[in-house]
């Protein structure tokens, strides 16, 4: 028994694993909290777009020797602004606009990486490198996470109303444009933070899956926030820990675990799960038969 316990505690003997575990948990918690608003607003595709749109910014930052978060953040805001401009100045549907812009930015990023291969690590950008995260990058994640949590904590009720019904929010005198900008900015900065943990390819999962799972488990938004944030923390922590024993990609372990939790909720959720829906249909059929 002692040998098993010692084996299970082995990851905590290494500083890089301790750092990866707690940083992943922090990123997962903040992304999970934000995920509820993304789910309520229906911005899953927007999250996917921004996670890919930050790639050229990261590439340029690496080439110029700047903090990658700066380049990624600027690139994300430029992509969001471009999408808003095209939507306002043309009759193109929002989904088509998002598809055009994010693929264009992603292609530009891949082009820059191919032109400067020695300075930019494609694997790090696409898959993340939480096990090798540096001290400056840790501080970037801490600052971004702290600012995001403070904004979400102060504005969560206003953001909830805006995400649920933007027109009603305007009627009540809330600054819908400002709330839109806040949510878009938070989505951009957390896409940058999650880039370290899971890479550009899987960022959208951390920004969508916890909220989608919590949405199946409760009808109360306050409870949904707690569930999604808690699942974000727990799955990120366990996923990073398990990656040591599996010798697999940390981001892949985290997102796979989040997906398994979502599938469990999808099937077994007491009110909105597949089994619960079938049980209601069966009961209704029996009642009509009687």
The span from the CA of 28 to the CA of 111, in Å, is 30
- Domain coordinates in residue numbering, the chain: 12-284
Q: Is the Cβ–Cβ distance between 249 and 127 less than 8 Å?
A: yes
29, HSE (Cβ side, Cα atoms, 13 Å): 18
Q: Which two tokens stand for residue 195?
A: 């880039």
pLDDT tens-place string over residues 26-79: 989 988 999 999 888 887 777 777 777 888 888 888 788 777 777 877 887 888
Q: Is the Cβ–Cβ distance between 126 and 201 less than 8 Å?
A: yes
Q: Is the Cβ–Cβ distance between 174 and 155 less than 8 Å?
A: no
Question: Into which CATH architecture does domain 12-284 fall?
Answer: Orthogonal Bundle (1.10)
pLDDT tens-place string over residues 242-260: 988 988 888 889 999 999 9
pTM of the model: 0.85
- 8-state DSSP, 38: H
Output helix, strand, coil percentages for the chain, rounded to the nearest 5: 85, 0, 15
């Amino acid at each position: 028994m002692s040998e098993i316990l010692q084996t299970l505690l082995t990851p905590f003997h290494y500083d890089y694993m301790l750092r990866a575990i707690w940083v992943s948990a922090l990123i997962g918690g903040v992304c999970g909290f934000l995920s509820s608003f993304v789910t309520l607003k229906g911005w899953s595709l927007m999250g996917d777009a921004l996670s890919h749109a930050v790639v050229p910014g990261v590439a340029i930052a690496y080439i110029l020797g700047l903090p990658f978060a700066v380049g990624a953040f600027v690139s994300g805001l430029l992509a969001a602004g471009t999408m808003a401009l095209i939507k306002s100045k043309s009759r193109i549907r929002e989904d088509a606009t998002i598809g055009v812009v994010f693929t264009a930015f992603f292609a530009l990023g891949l082009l820059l990486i191919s032109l400067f291969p020695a300075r930019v690590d494609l694997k790090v950008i696409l898959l993340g490198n939480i096990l090798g995260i540096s001290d400056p990058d840790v501080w970037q994640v801490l600052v971004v996470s702290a600012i995001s949590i403070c904004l979400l904590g102060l504005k969560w009720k206003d953001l909830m109303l805006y995400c649920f019904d933007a027109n009603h929010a305007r009627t009540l005198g809330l600054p819908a444009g400002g709330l839109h900008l806040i949510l878009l900015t938070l989505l951009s900065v957390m896409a940058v933070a999650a880039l370290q943990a899971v890479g550009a390819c899987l960022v959208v999962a951390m920004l969508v899956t916890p909220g989608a799972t919590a949405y199946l488990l409760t009808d109360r938004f306050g409870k949904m926030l707690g569930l999604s944030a808690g699942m974000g923390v727990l799955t990120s922590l366990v996923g990073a820990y398990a990656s040591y024993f599996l010798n697999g990609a940390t981001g892949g372990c985290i997102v796979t675990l989040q997906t398994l939790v979502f599938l469990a909720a999808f099937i077994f959720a007491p009110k909105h799960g597949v089994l619960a829906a079938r049980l209601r249909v069966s009961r209704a059929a029996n009642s009509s038969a009687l």
